[in-house]
Structure formats: C-alpha cells, structure tokens
Chains A and B, each alone.
Chain A
Amino acid sequence: DQQVKQNSPSLSVQEGRISILNCDYTNSMFDYFLWYKKYPAEGPTFLISISSIKDKNEDGRFTVFLNKSAKHLSLHIVPSQPGDSAVYFCAASSQGGSEKLVFGKGTKLTVNP
C-alpha cells in the first residue's frame, strides 16, 4: 500500500515556464514533507521541505504548497531551467520529521531548451 503517491511518472515543460509536480499521501499522521531531486548515477539530494503547520514554503525558484485537508502537496519550479531535469521524489514523515521517511515513486522532469 503506497502511502505516498506521485501519479505522474513523467513531466515535460519548456525552459522558462512553470513546472508543477504533485504528490498525494494517505497517512494522516504524516506531518513533515520533503522533496528530493535525483540525477542519473547519483543519490537523491534534499531540495525543500515543509512542516504541516505551514501551507507554503519558498526557496528561490522552488515553492512547496501543502493542502492538509486534501492530503496533497505540490512543488512549483519557476522559471524552469534545463538543469532542473531530474527525477523528483516526494517524501513524508511523522512525529515532526523524526520518524523514517516514506518516499513516492518519483516523477521524471524534463525541461526542454
């Protein structure tokens, strides 16, 4: 049973446009959410996180939105750049982030020049 779901295996956008990656979760105990980015032949690297006490967190071109009632979060990248092409994993944790991370299957983002 997938507790963290990324229903879009892939996404393609034009350089300069907005990329929106979506993630849904089922476990209501999750209260801390993270996005990781992964390039080929490398390990995932942390990108941005959000606590359930917030509904938005911003870091430069990256913004994560959390809708607790819908159990949904999204990552916005504006403007998208070719270097953003990677696999993006959504992850969730409970107890303020101290518990183990549960990952989604990932979404492969391709940003075309």
Chain B
Amino acid sequence: QKEVEQDPGPLSVPEGAIVSLNCTYSNSAFQYFMWYRQYSRKGPELLMYTYSSGNKEDGRFTAQVDKSSKYISLFIRDSQPSDSATYLCAMSDYGGSQGNLIFGKGTKLSVKP
C-alpha cells in the first residue's frame, strides 16, 4: 500500500459546482497536511496548510482532516475556470527532519465555463 493515495482524475465539473478532492494515507504519524495547486508548466503553489484534525477555511477553499480515518479533503465552492489545475496533497510527520514531505500524485481538475 502506498503511503499517500490520490485519485488522478481527470475531474471535470461545470462552473459554479462544488468540488471535492481527497487523499488517503497509511502512516498514522502524519500530523501536517497541505494542499498545493499546480498550473501547467508551473511550480506547486501552497493553498492550505493544516495541523492535526479539523477544518480550515480560506475564502472558497475548505480543508478537512480526519485522522481517525486517515483521510483529508479539499473543497472548492463556486468553482471557476481559473481553478483548473492539478491539486496535490502533501503530508509530513516531522520526525525532526525537514525532508520527509510525502506527496500524492495529484488530481487534475477542469472547470468548464
């Protein structure tokens, strides 16, 4: 079983839809959870950063972490064509080293006008 699983998509939705992106993981030591957005031919851009379980909201974006189920989600409300990108989840246990950030493979999202 891979450490982090993420459905690659592609996911296509109409403009204005609510989008749900998810990752599951196997390492119960993970404490820090991130979502990155990556446009084509660009580097990943940090969208959301959460610690432990719970919800975090920033504008149209909501990140949820359920450590008991080892499951994290990113919700996008009122999706826009400019949200079309690949979304990467990432997580870390911070075992004293900064080099242990584990990424999902990314979900490609397309928002149609």
A, B: real partners: no
Which residues of chain B have a CB within 8 Å of any CB of chain A?
Answer: none
Which residues of chain A have a CB within 8 Å of any CB of chain B?
Answer: none
